Amino acid sequence: MIYIALLVVGMLGAGIAACLLRDLLAAVVAAAAVSLILSGFFYLLQAPDVAMAEAAIGAGLTTAIFVIAIRKTGRHEE
Amino acid sequence: MRAFIGFVALSLIAVGLALALYHIPFGQDRMDVARDYLARSVRDTGAPNVVTGIVVNYRALDTLGEVTVLFSASLGVGMLMTWRSPGGGRPLPGASLIVRRGAGFLFPFILLFGGYIFVHGHLTPGGGFQGGAVIASAFLLLYLGIPGYLLARRPLAAIESLTGITFVAIGIIGLAVGGYFLNNFLPKGSVFSLFSAGVIPILYMVIGLKVGAELAGVVANMIGGGEE
Amino acid sequence: MIWLVFFSFIAAGIALSLARAGLGPTTPDRVVGVDGTVTITIALMVLLASFFDRQIYLDVALVYAVLGFIGVLAVARYLERGV
Amino acid sequence: MRVFGEVLIGIGTAFLFLGGLGIFRLLDVYNRLQAGTKCTTLGAFSTIIGVGFVHPAWMLKAIVIGVFILLTNPISAHALARASYRNGIPLWEGSVVDRCREFEECSRLPKEGE
């Protein structure tokens, strides 16, 4: 139970950080952390199919696509 | 001011969700359909993985829709980003020797792993979408490790189109043989063996190749896009 | 009983790495925190597969072991102006 | 066999905890990367092989996972360390040796925005 509470707190903190950070690269890293903890959650709830989809998409592809988009636009939010 | 409005809207949504979910007891199945699927799926489809049985057999038409959505998203990215040399002609600093060699060494293994995931989609967790994402990640690794790498566009488009046609063709054969679209017309085989579950492995291979080609196309378009 | 010890160690490791990801003054610090969390999570997933006694759950850990470094590599190549 | 596997898991989880502690407590990016790569790689490898010993039928897949961790973790750590050094992220002020400065490979990049 306490482990699940820890995971929930971590995921909430990372999600709020992803919204509030002005440095978009750091926000992307926070979003990657959200995806990681979410995948762990699906795993704990014994849904390995969904956990695997979240892992395959969230580990490499979304981070890289966000990073490329930041390269094309700008790193800091006004 | 904008942050305040956003906060109010978010709390309204949260209160609404809490009110709506308050009366539903947690952890009990509220629907008979789930129990029905669990009881019948293995016998009907021949796939021990119930999720696969639902996604590619009972709800295969919805899967066709999903693949189409992904296709149009890839098309949109391709229309927004033009196909040009990486970085818009700006010379890119090369990756170090370790990254280059590592990317080249790991690439075939990651491709093989993606293939393993979608071929074994009816036996183990995972399937076409997951395997396709893994294959696209392999190409992304090449882009990251080897600056100036360009994916050949023509085979990519050919794979996308051919797999889409194959999906629909399997559906129409099912319509001709069994009376409804995407009917599982092949013999089921014995449960837990690789060649079993009728058309499910074939459909998952088709979906995996299609998703992999589409996501790799998205990555290629994003990286190779112009800078104007 | 012994599983409780293992899971406590791993939970402490995840909490400390995530705290570094939250605190880290520079972006590479945060990436280091998330990268450490990925590695610890792979071990956690394998342990949980052993705990649930389901072999097929190992595949999820395998996906993370294969793909976990691509995100870090993407951020590193961005910092090198290589993307 | 089972006891041996559990001993390996114990060693591995202890190293994972120490790796997390190192990531949290050490003082600059490079030291943290040291803890976050060496320690957690050894910890995860030991844990996974330990699970393979507890369930002998899983050994093959456990070895595959472990080998992938051993192959991929150093690549990302190396790329991150090089990128942060070339971006001019400072070493801790008490550091006594900086061999990377002598090589052309580690030349500083121009500031963001050229």
In the predicted structure, residue B117 carries a pLDDT above the cut 90: no
Q: What is the pLDDT of residues B163-176, one digit of tens each?
A: 888 888 888 888 88
Q: Which among C7, C11, C63 has CB closest to A55? A: C63
**Mean pLDDT in residue range B197-213:** 85
State residue B16's pLDDT score: 92
Distances in whole angstroms, Cα of residue D104 to Cα of each of B99, D31, D77, D101: 17, 22, 20, 8
In this prediction the ipTM stands at 0.89
Contacts of residue B125 in chain A, CB cutoff 8 Å? 48-49, 51-52
Distance in angstroms (rounded) separating the CA atoms of residues D99 and D108: 14
Which residues, at least 6 apart from B198, have a Cβ–Cβ distance to it below 8 Å?
B45, B46, B184, B185, B186, B187, B188, B189
Q: Which among C56, C70, C77 has CB closest to B95? A: C77
**Mean pLDDT in residue range B116-142:** 86
The helix (H) or strand (E) run that includes residue B117 is helix B97-119
Rounded to the nearest 5°, which phi and psi values hold at A23? Answer: -80, 110
Contacts of residue B136 in chain A, CB cutoff 8 Å? 61
In the DSSP assignment, the letter for residue D56 is G
Q: Residues D72, D59: contact at Cβ < 8 Å?
A: no
For an interface test with C, the pick among A19, A39, A43 (most C C-beta atoms closer than 10 Å) comes out as: A43
State residue B89's pLDDT score: 54
State residue B90's pLDDT score: 59
Q: Which domain holds residue B219?
A: 30-224
Please state, rounded to an integer, the average pLDDT across all residues of chain C: 87
In the predicted structure, residue B87 carries a pLDDT above the cut 60: no
Q: Is there a domain that residue B99 lies in?
A: yes
Q: Is there a domain that residue B216 lies in?
A: yes
Q: Residues C5, C47: contact at Cβ < 8 Å?
A: no
Q: What is the pLDDT of residues B61-74, one digit of tens each?
A: 888 888 889 889 88
State residue B228's pLDDT score: 36
**Mean pLDDT in residue range A18-23:** 85
Q: Which of residues 24-53 of D touch C (CB under 8 A)?
A: 24, 29, 32-33, 35-37, 40-41, 43-44, 47-48, 51
Q: What is the pLDDT of residues C22-70, one digit of tens each?
A: 887 888 888 899 888 899 989 988 988 888 888 888 888 888 888 888 9
State residue D111's pLDDT score: 63
Q: Is there a domain that residue B12 lies in?
A: no
